[in-house]
Amino acid sequence: MANDDTPGGPVEPATARNVHVRPLGYASPRPVVRRLGDRELYLGNGRAADSGAENPAADSGARNRAADRDAEERTTDRDAVAREFAAVLTLTAEERALTTHHRPLVDGPGNEWAAFGAAVDCARRLHRDDGALLIHCEAGISRSAAIAATTIAAEERRPFRDGLEVVQTARPHAIPHPALHELAVCYLAARG
């Protein structure tokens, strides 16, 4: 049932199809990599940036057992996991084995404007270079989604919601923390 009292019009209720929930702090133990449209831009979790990250197709028995818990993890982009990236932008506090550029961000409030701007500026610069860019955080859901969506929006001169839609088409679980969402909108207003 829609709520007609909502400012701006009725709001449709959430359905099981459009709501994604993950336990607080959960990150898949398997590499997760998603190509963002037809761009040489990829979103991933921390495992995707580990050296020797196992190909999820290699052990189908183990993959099937682990994947029963999370259908999205079962669709890991096998080609992207196996490929070499020209650059890997790490947004977690700790660098990973494949990190080429490190711009740590907090998954929530507490990020300095300069740190957020530096992460987006770095992603934009790397995205313009030839070669594939992997942007990752721990779970591949909040920080990496915010930076990737802001990068797409800024480079293609589109609103943040359009960049986020591209990210969420590839990774439906991607939902940036509201504090990161706010920084993204401010970045686009100031530097877009």
pLDDT tens for 97-132 read: 999 999 999 999 999 999 999 999 999 999 999 789
Is 86 within a domain? yes
Q: Of 1 and 143, which is predicted with more confidence?
A: 143
Is 9 within a domain? no
User: How many whole angstroms separate alpha carbon 22 and alpha carbon 70?
Assistant: 10
Is 128 within a domain? yes
Is 155 within a domain? yes
Taking residues 59-87, report their average pLDDT. Answer: 49
In degrees, to the nearest 5, what angle opens at C-alpha 126 toward C-alphas 86 and 73? Answer: 65
| Residue 105 domain boundaries | 33-191
64: left (phi over 0), alpha (psi -120 to 50) or beta: alpha
Tokens 């990752």 sit at which residue? 136
Please give the tally of structural domains in the chain. 1
Confidence of residue 156 (pLDDT cuts 50, 70, 90): very high
Supply 89's token pair.
């932008």
CA 185 to chain centre: 16
108: left (phi over 0), alpha (psi -120 to 50) or beta: left
Lowest-pLDDT choice from 18-27, 35-44, 69-78: 69-78
Query: What CATH number did the domain enclosing 79 receive?
Result: 3.90.190.10
Taking residues 169-185, report their average pLDDT. Answer: 96
Taking residues 147-153, report their average pLDDT. Answer: 98
Is 12 within a domain? no
Is 126 within a domain? yes
Predicted confidence at residue 133, as pLDDT, reads 97
Taking residues 82-98, report their average pLDDT. Answer: 90
Q: Of 23 and 78, which is predicted with more confidence?
A: 23
Supply 159's token pair.
């609103």
Is 28 within a domain? no
Is 16 within a domain? no
